[in-house]
């Protein structure tokens, strides 16, 4: 009986050991395959996970963290990711990312920010991330499994959790990888004083402590049209204090200054690999972040920051029905660069990560990666493409053209901007609710008479546009305030028009974001509109197109055109807009052309 039992126990133990070995072998094969696909070194470690480690903050609040560590005992450099979306959220694949880096010899920490999920305290967007981030970096740098070198990593809000503590100068912080984010929260969400109603409302609702229903059941079309804007959260059955605070602070000032870093760059000593996408709404801000770090970073290391821009949306998407950027466009291909960045700064590996130019970007349509010493590239020349028509540039069927020849005369174009019938957002940067970011066919937009369309003749040669795009616009309005929604597009030989870059400009902000200046009725103003940065090859036979409209909704909130506060009032008025393009008022699109 004892002999039989002994055999059973030995057999069971053998099976358990065999299954464990099989699991280890399967794990190793899985990560070896992933490393091979991503072009990474073969994984050197199996990974052990320690969940829900409570990290104390200076005020006694404890924040919950999961630690992904190499199974072998020892000291390792640390990568910290702090998230408000839940460290166990399968949609964000934290465990995949953490295990990938841990297998390469890092302790990877995923922490819930204050007041979210398993962490203690109360959550309020951005307000605690500077001190809590600093305290967590200090903690990570002093543990017995840490080498004392800490890097930070993450997208969007996780990117803010990197920038905000950086000026506090933890001696353990050695490198950052902020992705699709910026140093200044205000223009991220309220761009030129224009509330990004779609993404802001959905983001607040999906992350509210209490909400009336699942986000999947929301009628977003109705929600984003709610006026006044401050009631939009109430219409969803979720009164959200932070959302209301944002509406009630539409201008730069002390409320937003608490959570900005762009004025503290001289105190930042860690270098940053700043990553963004041509179809992300933080793109232009990220480029400015890079320029500040290069010019005014608080150490030689900080001034060695690098900018990396690909053909991505805020969600890192690179595949689209209306545009094909090739296999090299995938964001996953950049994991190798990110690992090399950490290996250089945290492990001291001389891997050549800084040997390329500090500016690395993907040129769309050419579908190739480039490296330059500066942005825009030194060889860029700025060319004027003048708006011309005989007064009938309405819709793609109109007579609007873009020409490198300056106009001598020409009838102005006009359209009616109606806040109750806004021009819809098609493509662009907004990712939440019903909107989809990226390049999309503009047929729906360009068929409207309240959209002016100006197009070049078919190009005689490939034309590369790389750098900041600008529109100098001479225009008048019948309203006290109005918006100009502008869009750069590519028109292919088959007539399909696809958006490349866009912006919305609020006329009352032309002098200052802090103090708006109402328009005088029908007075002609010269507006200088920063359309944004891009790198796009317009191929021979294709055409370059400019759209001008009164709105891009709901990516951007509507201008109610009364001159009153757009967040707390509901009345709207129509406005007649007139665009001039003659000898005295030569409206023109300024394109950054790079010789090829």
Residue positions annotated with a catalytic role: 156, 280, 314
Query: Which neighbouring-strand residues pair with 549?
Result: 485
Cβ–Cβ under 8 Å, residues 480 and 418: no
C-alpha to C-alpha distance for 220 and 237, rounded to whole angstroms: 13
CB atoms near residue 16 (< 10 Å): 10
Place of tokens 């950027």: 325
Sorted by sequence, the CB contacts under 8 Å of residue 323 that are 6+ apart come out as 311, 364, 438, 439, 498
SS (H, E, C) 2-67: HHHHHHHHHHHHHHHHHHHHHHHHHHHHHHHHHHHHHCCCCCCCCEEEEEEEEEECCCCCEEEEEE
Helix (H, G, I), strand (E, B) or coil at 548: strand
Cβ–Cβ under 8 Å, residues 367 and 326: yes
Pairing of strands 368-372, 359-363: antiparallel
Cβ–Cβ under 8 Å, residues 186 and 263: no
C-alpha to C-alpha distance for 570 and 579, rounded to whole angstroms: 27
* Summary count for the chain: helices (H), strands (E): 13, 23
C-alpha to C-alpha distance for 200 and 179, rounded to whole angstroms: 19
Structure tokens at 406: 């300056």
Find the length of the chain: 596
Ramachandran category for residue 395: left, alpha or beta (phi over 0 → left; psi -120 to 50 → alpha): left
Cis peptide upstream of residue 179 (ω within 30 degrees of 0)? no
C-alpha to C-alpha distance for 363 and 347, rounded to whole angstroms: 32
C-alpha to C-alpha distance for 476 and 179, rounded to whole angstroms: 39
C-alpha to C-alpha distance for 439 and 313, rounded to whole angstroms: 10
């Amino acid at each position: 009986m004892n002999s039989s039992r002994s055999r059973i126990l030995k057999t069971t133990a053998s099976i358990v050991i065999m299954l464990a070995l099989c699991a280890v072998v399967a794990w190793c094969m899985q990560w070896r395959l992933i490393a091979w696909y991503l072009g990474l070194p073969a994984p050197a470690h199996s990974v052990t996970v320690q969940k829900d480690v409570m990290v104390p903050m200076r005020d006694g609040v404890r924040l919950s963290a999961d630690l992904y560590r190499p199974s072998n005992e020892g000291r390792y450099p640390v990568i910290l990711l702090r998230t408000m979306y839940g460290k166990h959220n399968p949609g964000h694949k934290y465990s995949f990312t953490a295990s990938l880096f841990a297998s390469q010899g890092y302790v990877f920490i995923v922490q819930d920010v204050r007041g979210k999920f398993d962490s203690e305290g109360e959550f309020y967007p951005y307000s605690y991330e500077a001190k809590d981030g600093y305290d967590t970096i200090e903690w990570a740098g002093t543990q017995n499994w840490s080498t004392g070198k800490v890097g930070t990593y993450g997208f969007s809000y996780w990117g803010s959790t990197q920038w905000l503590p950086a000026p506090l100068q933890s001696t353990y912080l050695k490198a950052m990888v902020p992705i699709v984010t910026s140093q200044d929260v205000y223009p991220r969400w309220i761009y030129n004083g224009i509330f990004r109603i779609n993404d802001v409302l959905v983001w607040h609702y999906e992350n509210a402590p209490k909400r009336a229903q699942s986000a999947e059941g929301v009628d977003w079309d109705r929600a984003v049209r709610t006026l006044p804007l401050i009631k939009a959260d109430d219409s969803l059955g979720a009164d959200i204090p932070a959302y209301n605070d944002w509406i009630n602070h539409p201008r730069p000032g002390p409320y937003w200054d608490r959570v900005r870093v762009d004025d503290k760059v001289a105190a930042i000593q860690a270098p940053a690999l700043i990553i963004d996408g041509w179809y992300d709404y933080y793109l232009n801000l990220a480029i400015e972040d890079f320029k500040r770090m290069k010019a005014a970073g608080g150490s030689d290391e900080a001034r060695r920051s690098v900018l990396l821009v690909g053909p991505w949306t805020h969600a890192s998407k690179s595949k689209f029905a209306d545009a094909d950027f090739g296999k090299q466009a995938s964001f996953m291909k950049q994991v190798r660069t990110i690992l090399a960045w950490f290996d250089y700064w945290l492990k001291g590996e001389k891997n050549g990560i800084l040997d390329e130019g500090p500016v690395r970007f993907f040129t769309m349509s050419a579908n190739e990666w480039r490296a330059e010493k500066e942005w825009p590239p030194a060889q860029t020349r700025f060319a004027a493409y003048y708006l011309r028509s005989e007064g009938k540039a309405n819709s793609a069927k109109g007579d609007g053209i873009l020409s490198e020849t300056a106009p001598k005369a020409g009838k102005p174009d006009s359209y009616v901007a109606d806040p109750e019938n806004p021009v819809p957002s098609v493509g662009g940067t907004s990712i939440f609710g019903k909107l989809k970011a990226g390049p999309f066919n503009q047929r729906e937009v360009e068929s409207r008479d309240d959209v002016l369309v100006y197009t070049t003749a078919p190009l005689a040669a490939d034309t590369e546009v790389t750098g900041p795009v600008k529109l100098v616009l001479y225009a008048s309005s019948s309203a006290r305030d109005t918006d100009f929604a502008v869009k750069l597009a590519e028109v292919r030989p088959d007539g399909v028009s696809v958006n490349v870059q866009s912006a919305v400009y609020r006329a009352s902000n032309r002098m200052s974001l802090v103090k708006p200046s109402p328009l005088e009725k029908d007075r002609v103003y010269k507006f200088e509109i920063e359309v944004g940065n891009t790198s796009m090859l317009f191929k021979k036979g294709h055409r370059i197109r400019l759209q001008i409209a009164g709105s891009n909704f709901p990516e951007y909130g509507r201008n109610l055109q009364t001159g009153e506060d757009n967040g707390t009032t509901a009345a709207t008025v129509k406005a007649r807009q007139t665009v001039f393009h003659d000898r005295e008022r030569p409206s023109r699109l300024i394109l950054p052309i790079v010789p090829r």
